[in-house]
Amino acid sequence: KGKPVIIGADPKEGKGRGVIATCNYEARKYGLHSAMPISQAYKRCPHGIYLKPNGKKYFKVSNEVMDILEIYSDNFQRVGTDEAYLELTEITKDCGEAEKIAKEIQKEIFTKIGITISIGIAPTKSLAKIASDENKPNGITIVKLETIYEFLKDKDITRIPGIGKKTKVHFYKKGIKRIGDIINTPLPTMIKLFGKHGRWIWNVANGLDNRKVKEFHEERKSISAERTFFSDTDNFNEILSKLEDINKKDFQELI
């Protein structure tokens, strides 16, 4: 606790290959972030605690958390390993009751599993997602219909799901940098500039996301694996040998 922890490839004292999978908030104070080259991370934070990923443990803990969340609502939607939506509209009268449930969820998960979670309470899925990122770690953020504009107006447009680092460049060129800029731009203009994506972004910014919360099961259609060489190589036999090893492991997982 209180120390920078980095999950990812072995830094090998700054000579390692690979990237950061994730890191804690202490590590982020040094400018570290997901997908950063591990060698660069080591240069910025050589005293950090570097750990290898443990996928099996993460999925186990994730399932334990989801099992708890599912108890609190019949309308439950899991999104990946660390995110989920709960529909509480039919079982709560107002945001105050929803906040009480959120606190109960946080308490139960911390007591039983020992981890903290951040929760966003809002009229739409997209706003709840944005709100959940507001007060990490272990925060609860409430956005009401009448407070949507005040909550969003000064936030960078990248806070909207669907706008990444590359996409934001196109918005910035048009002078749209804050979510408030989107709200104040007429919908026809957004559609003219950005097409269907512009409509979606405008709707999210104005609290008009009508997607329902529901469990979604998708059949797994592919499997993948990757390995990073310690140094660059053009040795065909070495590459072929590594590919054969990876294929064997993938095949074992399939059967």
Please state the domain extents for the chain: 5-53, 54-213, 219-254
- One digit per residue, the tens of pLDDT, for the chain of length 255 reads 789 999 998 888 888 888 999 999 999 999 999 989 999 999 999 999 999 988 889 899 999 999 999 999 989 999 988 999 999 998 998 999 999 999 999 999 999 999 999 999 999 999 999 999 999 889 999 999 999 999 999 999 999 988 888 889 999 999 999 999 999 999 999 999 999 999 999 999 999 998 999 865 555 556 666 666 656 667 777 777 777 777 766 655 554
As a whole number of angstroms, the distance between CA 202 and CA 188 comes to 10
As a whole number of angstroms, the distance between CA 175 and CA 189 comes to 13
Return the pLDDT at 255. 47
Topology of domain 5-53 in CATH is: MutS, DNA mismatch repair protein, domain I (3.40.1170)
Count the helix, strand and coil residues of the chain and give each as a percent rounded to the nearest 5.
50, 10, 40
As a whole number of angstroms, the distance between CA 102 and CA 55 comes to 27
Q: Is the dihedral of CA 170, 172, 178, 184 positive or negative?
A: negative
As a whole number of angstroms, the distance between CA 209 and CA 203 comes to 6
Strand order in the sheet with 49-51: 20-23, 5-8, 49-51
Nearest C-alpha neighbor of 31 from the set 20, 41, 18, 16: 41
Map residue 73 onto helix, strand or coil: coil
Residue 224 phi/psi, 5-degree rounding, is: -145, 160
Return the pLDDT at 217. 53
Describe the crossing of helices 55-71 and 95-113 by its angle, rounded to 10 degrees: 140
Question: Token pair for residue 122?
Answer: 């809002």
Enumerate the active-site residues.
83
Give 132's DSSP letter: H
Under CATH, which number does the domain 54-213 receive?
3.30.70.270
86, β-bridge pairs: 76
In whole angstroms, what separates CA 13 from the centre of its chain? 29
As a whole number of angstroms, the distance between CA 119 and CA 98 comes to 11
